[in-house]
A and B are shown apart, each in its own frame.
Chain A
């Protein structure tokens, strides 16, 4: 026997042919080019700024608390020279200059709570007066307030009326923190420290302020999310979109081999089925990766710190979507069948990326979707600039999903090719 040919030569020949076939598929070339241009345009026209100001409500008003404290301290005969330095105006001015925070004073704790719960809408008029109305019923009042600024309240501190005097006396006092359920724990801790600081400022010593179990008020807001611009949130979505287009292209390439019967012609040559599967894996992954990297470059996702994490993440993502392409390509009996399977498999894979756009709406089952760890890694590396150690479990999770889907893709496609 003669004419032995190396596996690399066979692989090279198939890859060259596949690349030629891909380059001649005008539809997918068109979709890829248009896709890249369109996605990059979307990215650059999406707002890249956010209003990061946290609106904090306090009750009762500072002036009321100070007035109460003066009366109590006089009654108790306590002289507090430090206290004399404070006036409501001074404190309010100080609070107004606090960066990233706007403080609104409520006289009525119940009113503040209802605003936080979303039962009442809050308006701030030009002179700083707070008005809250029921948007379902107070239509007339709403009309009157059309010139006032509508405000979203994010957190609330309900001080006891005697907070100042108790703080000065060093007596135990209780402050209730109202916060949004989606507000991260750090904000809650920050608020506790903030209250302790106020108490220290007033009393000149550590004050035993207690915080009863906080009340979680569901409003559907995510402070952490709001601090990320929409443009930044688009990155994982756009990266997955380009992988999705490549999935369709690759699935089409595979299914045309099956439907046209060319794979049967290949099987009577020295090519082994393994060569065929390897070639499809290499081409699919390389095409998806190169285009994914290109779009990430165009939307400035790469930084000196994250490039390696992002590259590995995109490699895993490309392999994941190539595996899906193998399943779709093997399953579809015609164009419509392929389209149906493509929708069936790829739409769920996009859910985690959409969930980034609308934070706070993610159900726990989304974490079971194979693309979830990829999206987490994309978000982590492009937005929070996390390192390998911070996201090692996501990497592990992603690798496991990719390995499982790739194995399934290989088995299905191998079986299909061998039984034609």
Chain B
């Protein structure tokens, strides 16, 4: 039986009287990517801060790599990697110096810093000071730093934020490689496509509570509405119509339209994670 890399039970946190995290439960298995989705202020960052040892839990408990969280635990910290949304790098140092320094904190005698930088496409700028880097380059360095100790658990907060599509795709590929290596990954993102593409399972968090947790496929099946979207030309004007597939008259209406000379295009329409989130919480993810 596999032991979860992250196991959270009834975890809570209060900022004064405000309960930011409310009795949440979830697990992340080794090699699994759990998409942790929610709008700003939903409790994602607070949860990550607790799991990475930056905050002491207000209630409940959690284990990372079978070690109880809530205290300074260098042995546990040595096994995790964190990519923060905030670009907290040493700007007056080069990328190579940044990675070498963090590697030394992990006790890595001969770090593969250059290899790590090449992996994120920064090999040729390795000796440049970070304050000369663009936002996207800094983000790539953040990723390289999170991976420097070959962690068994990764916490990635908006890892592709601010990246161009090509670089973002490369970073996603790197994340998948880390997962394939066996790292458990807790991924927070506003990018639904990314969550859908990368996550083995997705947790929706809203106002401190996990409102849904399953595979993206199951969530779509459970909460999504399948539909067919058609475009028609009527009296010289283009009109769109959406036909929910779950309704009894759907097949009859589709057959009618298929026979109609006015039909221009016909597409199946899948539920998105965004639409499911809105359906479950009444809020948009970006909000």
Q: A3 to B54, Cβ gap below 8 A?
A: no
Alpha-carbon gap, A273 to B72, bound state (A): 9
Alpha-carbon gap, A270 to B67, bound state (A): 14
Which A-chain residue is minimally distant from B66 (CB atoms)? A1
Q: B106 to A1, Cβ gap below 8 A?
A: no
Shortest beta-carbon distance, B267 to chain A, in Å? Answer: 45
Which A residues, 370 to 420, have Cβ-Cβ distances below 8 Å to chain B? Answer: 420
Given contacts A4-B74, A270-B78, contact A25 B92 (CB under 8 A): yes
In the complex, B133 has a CB within 8 A of chain A: no
Q: A268 to B82, Cβ gap below 8 A?
A: yes
Shortest beta-carbon distance, A187 to chain B, in Å? Answer: 58
- Chain B residues near A262 (CB-CB < 8 A): 88-90
- Chain B residues near A261 (CB-CB < 8 A): 84, 86, 88
Given contacts A1-B79, A17-B93, A20-B97, contact A270 B107 (CB under 8 A): yes
Alpha-carbon gap, A14 to B102, bound state (A): 9
In the complex, A74 has a CB within 8 A of chain B: no
Shortest beta-carbon distance, A262 to chain B, in Å? Answer: 5
Q: B88 to A271, Cβ gap below 8 A?
A: no
Interface majority SS (helix, strand, loop, mixed), chain B: loop
- Chain A residues near B67 (CB-CB < 8 A): 1
Alpha-carbon gap, A3 to B86, bound state (A): 27
- Chain B residues near A300 (CB-CB < 8 A): none
Shortest beta-carbon distance, A29 to chain B, in Å? Answer: 12
Interface size class of B (residues with CB under 8 A): 20 to 34
- Chain A residues near B90 (CB-CB < 8 A): 17, 21, 260, 262
Q: A268 to B104, Cβ gap below 8 A?
A: no
In the complex, B145 has a CB within 8 A of chain A: yes
Alpha-carbon gap, A65 to B72, bound state (A): 88
Alpha-carbon gap, A10 to B108, bound state (A): 11
Most buried by B among A4, A262, A265: A265
Shortest beta-carbon distance, A4 to chain B, in Å? Answer: 6
Shortest beta-carbon distance, A306 to chain B, in Å? Answer: 39
Q: B80 to A5, Cβ gap below 8 A?
A: no
Option from A5, A20, A265 in Cβ contact (under 8 Å) with B74? A5
Alpha-carbon gap, A269 to B155, bound state (A): 13
Given contacts A4-B74, A273-B72, contact A268 B52 (CB under 8 A): yes
In the complex, A13 has a CB within 8 A of chain B: yes
Shortest beta-carbon distance, B12 to chain A, in Å? Answer: 18
- Chain A residues near B107 (CB-CB < 8 A): 3-5, 9, 270
Binding site for B on A (CB under 8 A): 1-5, 9-10, 12-14, 16-17, 20-21, 24-25, 260-262, 264-273, 420
